[in-house]
Amino acid sequence: EDKVVQSPLSLVVHEGDTVTLNCSYEVTNFRSLLWYKQEKKAPTFLFMLTSSGIEKKSGRLSSILDKKELFSILNITATQTGDSAVYLCAVEASFPVVNNRKLIWGLGTSLAVNP
Amino acid sequence: DAGVTQSPTHLIKTRGQQVTLRCSPKSGHDTVSWYQQALGQGPQFIFQYYEEEERQRGNFPDRFSGHQYPNYSSELNVNALLLGDSALYLCASSRGQDATNEKLFFGSGTQLSVL
């Protein structure tokens, strides 16, 4: 059965700290891995990763994928209170016979950044 | 440019009742997907609508049904509500049935409570 596991489930840090969020997966027909940030309600897209070893970066956030060890990390440096949110990892899998794709979601990591 | 809008934002129902949730996709988008997100869980895919037809479906019972209108807006209907249907229901839109998932735009969701 396809699964995506995120760790830790919850994290509390102080402003200025650096955090690393983990996402491991066991998915057949892997296409891509995506990170989303969910504040209050609507998830917002952060990164899509398809190739191993290529870091994607956006400001203080960065992410990398290891397709051999089947995991990804999301780093946030110099955290701010506005980074407080649930960070969701999702893996996109394809089904060539029926030409369908689906997302398998992790449970998320709840990050709280205290001033 | 309006993003994805969902209504209502909150809803309280009792067991056995029926509910209809509504979604208007982002301007220019023609594909709508619905997700159920229980507290502390990642989103679970319910189904996707494109060209007014259900194109993909997740592992949800027939009590969950939907509709897409010619203007691309969509409804999610749930019959015979159970306590376990209490969740945040997210609508996501994209352009084209085969759009990759980084192109998904999520609405803020409808929080459904079943008493």
Whether B25 and chain A come into contact, CB under 8 Å, resolves to: no
Question: What residue in B sits closest to A39 (Cα-Cα)?
Answer: B108
Count structural domains, chain B.
1
pLDDT attached to residue A42:
87
Q: Within 10 A of A24 (CB to CB), how many other CB atoms are there?
A: 18
- Whether residue A107 and residue B41 make contact (CB cut-off 8 A), yes or no, is yes
- Domain holding B74: CATH number? 2.60.40.10
pLDDT attached to residue B97:
64
Q: Within 10 A of A73 (CB to CB), how many other CB atoms are there?
A: 17
Statement: residue A93 has pLDDT above 80 = yes
Domain around B19: 5-114
Distance from CA of A43 to the nearest CA of B (A): 6
Question: Per residue in A29-77, pLDDT tens?
Answer: 898 999 999 987 889 999 999 999 999 999 999 999 999 999 999 999 9
Which strands, in side-by-side order, build the sheet including A56-58? A3-7, A19-26, A71-76, A61-66, A56-58
pLDDT attached to residue A1:
81
Measured CA to CA in angstroms, residue B82 lies from B1, B78, B111, B114, B115 at distances of: 37, 10, 15, 7, 8
Chain mean pLDDT for chain A: 91
Find residues 30-69 of chain A whose CB sits inside 8 Å of chain B. 32, 34, 40-45, 48
Statement: residue A98 has pLDDT above 60 = no
Name the stretches of chain B with pLDDT < 50: none
Alpha carbons B11 and A106: distance in angstroms, whole number: 26
- Exposure class string for B51-82: b at 16+ Cβ within 10 A, else e: eeeeebebeeeeebbbebeeebbbbbebeebe
Alpha carbons B37 and B90: distance in angstroms, whole number: 7
Spell out the domains of chain A, with CATH numbers in brackets: 3-114 (2.60.40.10)
pLDDT attached to residue B94:
86
Confidence band (pLDDT; 50, 70, 90) for A100? low
Whether A10 and chain B come into contact, CB under 8 Å, resolves to: no
pLDDT attached to residue B87:
96
